[in-house]
Amino acid sequence: MCRLLAIVASEPRGFRRCLLEAHRSLAVLGREHTDGWGIAVHETKTGWTVTKRTASASSDPEFGVTASDATGALLVAHVRKRTVGEVSLGNTHPFRRGGWVFAHNGTIEQLSELRAAVASTGETLTGNTDSEVLFAFLMDRLASHRGAVGPRIRIDMALARAVADLASMQSLGTATFVVSDGVTLYAYRHGRPLYLLERRSQDRVEAILVASEAMTTESWTPVAERTLLAIWRHPSVGRAVIFDPGRSLMTRPP
């Protein structure tokens, strides 16, 4: 069981508070989730910067340095408590494929269908976790989805259909994750908790946070089970439900 954190901000900012200073910061959570940490930060001009280590975030000086320096418009961070795969850099989240990064909280118990999708991509996995197989499954669905709609709606629909397939699999296990291309953050709850927080200044949303648990004393809202959210920062920070079991596939507002 791991812990993940993602933040979408209206403009570049530092992420020190939730990484280091909050009462349930990732540094604090690293005391229980000791098998590695990773921080991915996206900047418009340079793209993703991903830093990962196999030490505990609570005791590794490099985590403090990286967290203090982390500045951008979008963050994906993770502390690991291993269930599948040894402690190694290749098994440490977030994982990256091209312009996408991914972090998972849970354990996939039925990997055969997901592995079949991975085999069709021809991609080589860098580690041996169930999480990376799940990521490859999502990337396969993105690559194979075609349609006449615009690219952003196409991505929405491809991921919505992917999680619909996950929801229909018997004995899948737990598959709560976040995945982002640096433009939109997608967050899906499946078996492990996921919480949402909007930070506002007057009537304007300045940042939206997604985490495995309430990290601060602010009013976090639980994400409903088997719901996929899209969170974006252009033209302003906003979010929409892309999939839930009761309403099936949806698209974001214009």
At 246 the pLDDT is 73
212 Rama class: left (phi>0) / alpha (psi -120 to 50) / beta: alpha
The DSSP 8-state label assigned to residue 89 in this structure reads G
Report all structural domains of the chain as residue ranges with CATH numbers, in order of start.
3-249 (3.60.20.10)
Q: Across residues 248-252, what is the average pLDDT?
A: 62
Binned at pLDDT 50, 70 and 90, residue 7 comes out as very high
Residue 208 has a pLDDT of: 97
CB burial of residue 24 (10 Å; 0-12, 13-18, 19+):
middle
Which 3 state secondary structure label does DSSP give 201?
strand
Q: Tell me whether the omega of the peptide bond preceding residue 151 falls within 30 degrees of 0, making it cis.
A: no
Please state the φ and ψ torsions of residue 91, each to the nearest 5 degrees. -100, 5
Alpha helices in 1-129 (DSSP H): 16, 26-29, 61-69, 112-121
Identify the pLDDT of residue 118. 74
pTM of the model: 0.94
Per-residue confidence (pLDDT) for residue 146, from 0 to 100? 58
Q: What is the pLDDT of residue 149?
A: 47
Distance, in Å, from the CA atom of 160 to the CA atom of 145, rounded to the nearest integer, reads: 11
- The predicted-structure confidence for 204-231, as pLDDT tens digits, reads as follows 899 999 999 999 999 999 999 999 999 9
- Per residue in 98-123, pLDDT (tens digit) is 999 999 999 999 888 788 777 666 66
Q: Identify any residues that bridge with 77 across adjacent strands, giving them in sequence order.
A: 5, 39
